[in-house]
């Protein structure tokens, strides 16, 4: 029998992606309201993290996007469909630049315009997934935002650079 290090022990208590997606709710089913997600994401987390919430949400999304281990862009589009993140369009797909538009964004569609972009988690998620698929360092910038800035879609400009070998 192998002995666990404290780090392994701590990790063994983390909720992994696959485990989080085990849902057993015989009466209520898989779906919860968009409202619950928004209250957690836009109200509760921003309330405790303040200005740091945007960066934290981006990094959390990026880590999650990488950890999904997706191999093809289509897999990501399927996941977005299943999770109802939004309606995803990719109007530009070039070597060093990708544009992703999210219509009916889960985070912000329908909000009274707030005056700043809001969908940092989604941006990070997209960047993480793209980085793991194309194996290039990927940064997403949210250029347009439905609920944040009053645009038609939440648009993310992805900048791709070679992964630096260390
Ligand atoms: Zn947005």
Ligand 1 geometric centre to CA of 28 (Å) = 28
Q: What is the per-residue pLDDT across 97-145, written as a single tens digit (0 to 9) for each?
A: 999 999 999 999 999 999 999 999 999 999 999 999 999 999 999 999 9
Instruction: Find out whether 154 and 122 touch, Cβ atoms under 8 Å.
Output: yes
Ligand 1 geometric centre to CA of 109 (Å) = 7
Query: Which residues fall inside 5 Å of ion ligand 1, going by CB?
Result: 105, 108, 118-119, 145, 154
Ligand 1 geometric centre to CA of 135 (Å) = 26
Distance CA 68, CA 140 (A): 17
Ligand 1 geometric centre to CA of 114 (Å) = 10
Q: Which two tokens stand for residue 122?
A: 């989604």
Compute the residue count for the chain: 166
Ligand 1 geometric centre to CA of 15 (Å) = 27
Q: What DSSP string runs through 136-164?
A: EEEEEEEEE-HHHH--SSEEEEEEEEEPP
Domains with residue ranges and CATH for the chain: 32-162 (3.30.1380.20)
Q: Which two tokens stand for residue 46?
A: 């921003």
Distance CA 51, CA 54 (A): 7
Instruction: Find out whether 100 and 138 touch, Cβ atoms under 8 Å.
Output: no
Q: What is the per-residue pLDDT across 4-17, written as a single tens digit (0 to 9) for each?
A: 787 887 777 888 88
pTM for the model: 0.86
């Amino acid at each position: 029998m192998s002995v666990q290090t404290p780090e392994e022990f701590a990790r063994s208590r983390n909720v992994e992606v696959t485990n989080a997606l085990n849902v057993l709710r015989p009466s209520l089913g898989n779906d919860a309201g968009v409202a619950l997600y928004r209250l957690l994401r836009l109200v509760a987390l921003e309330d405790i993290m303040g200005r740091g919430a945007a960066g934290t949400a981006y990094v959390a999304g990026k880590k999650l996007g990488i950890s999904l281990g997706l191999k093809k862009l289509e897999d990501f589009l399927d996941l977005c469909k299943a999770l109802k993140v939004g309606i995803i369009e990719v109007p530009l797909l070039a070597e060093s630049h990708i544009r992703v538009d999210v219509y009916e964004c889960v985070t912000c569609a329908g909000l009274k315009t707030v005056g700043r972009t809001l969908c940092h988690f989604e941006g990070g998620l997209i960047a993480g997934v793209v980085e793991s698929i194309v194996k290039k360092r990927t940064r997403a910038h949210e250029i347009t935002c439905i609920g944040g800035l009053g645009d038609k879609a939440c648009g993310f400009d992805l900048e791709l650079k070679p992964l630096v070998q260390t």
